[in-house]
Structure 1
Amino acid sequence: MPEMRFLIAWPDGARETCYSPSLVVTEHLAPGETYPLPDFMARARTMLRIASDRVEAKYGRPCSLALGQLARLEQAASRFRDDPQAEVACLAFILPDQGIPS
């Protein structure tokens, strides 16, 4: 399965490199785009569950890394839920043979 990482920026400017075991991320996010927090989290839930389901279909068990990433995103997003202006930016997609952008 082709895994990838995606770099995001939270509303406070903190950057986080996130993991997906599938390229499905490219169907839900776009580098350079900014998403209202609820929209970003809906996209994250969808894409990481799809990714986990793909792993389960291939290997017989859900992807704990994808589900763990989703749990970390949920935890981080909870800090900004009271801010109606909160947005999350997708900064980059990172394939396994690429370095993380600075």
Structure 2
Amino acid sequence: MPEMRFVIAWPDGRKECCYSPSLVIRDFFTEGQTYALTDFLDRSRNALTIASDRVEAKYGRPCALALGQLAHIEQAAAPFLTDTDATVRCEIFIL
């Protein structure tokens, strides 16, 4: 199963490299695109859940790395949730 990484920029400008066990991320994000924080979280939940489900279908168990990445994204986003103008930028995909 092809895995990939994607670099994001948080509302405070901090950049982070994120992991997905599947290329499905490209169905939810576009390089160079900026997303409202809540939209970014929804897209992350959908994409990483699908990615984990694909691993489970192939190997018989969900992907702990994808679910862990999702938990980290949700935790990292928490301080920005009160800012209705907060955005996250998808910088680049790394295959």
Q: What is the TM-score when the length of structure 1 is the normalising length?
A: 0.93
- The amino acid across from 2:88 in the alignment is V
Q: Which runs of 5+ in 2 are unaligned?
A: none
Q: Give the secondary-structure state (helix, strand or coil) at the position aligned to 1:23.
A: coil
Query: 2:52 matched to 1:52?
Result: yes
Per-residue deviation at 1:65? 0.1
Q: C-alpha offsets along residues 45-88 of structure 1, whole Å, 9 cap, x if unaligned?
A: 00000000000000000000000000000000001000000000
- The structure 1 segments of at least 4 consecutive aligned residues displaced by more than 2 Å after TM superposition are none
Q: What is the deviation of 1:34?
A: 0.1
Tell me the C-alpha RMSD between the 2 structures.
0.2
In structure 1, runs of 5+ residues without a counterpart are: 96-102
Aligned residues: 95
Does the residue aligned with 2:85 lie in a helix, a strand or coil?
A: coil
Q: Residue type matched to 2:37 in 1?
A: L
| Deviation of the 1:9 alpha carbon | 0.1
% identical equivalent positions: 65
- The 3-state SS of whatever aligns with 1:19 is strand
Match of 2:37 in 1: 37
TM-score by length of 2: 1.00
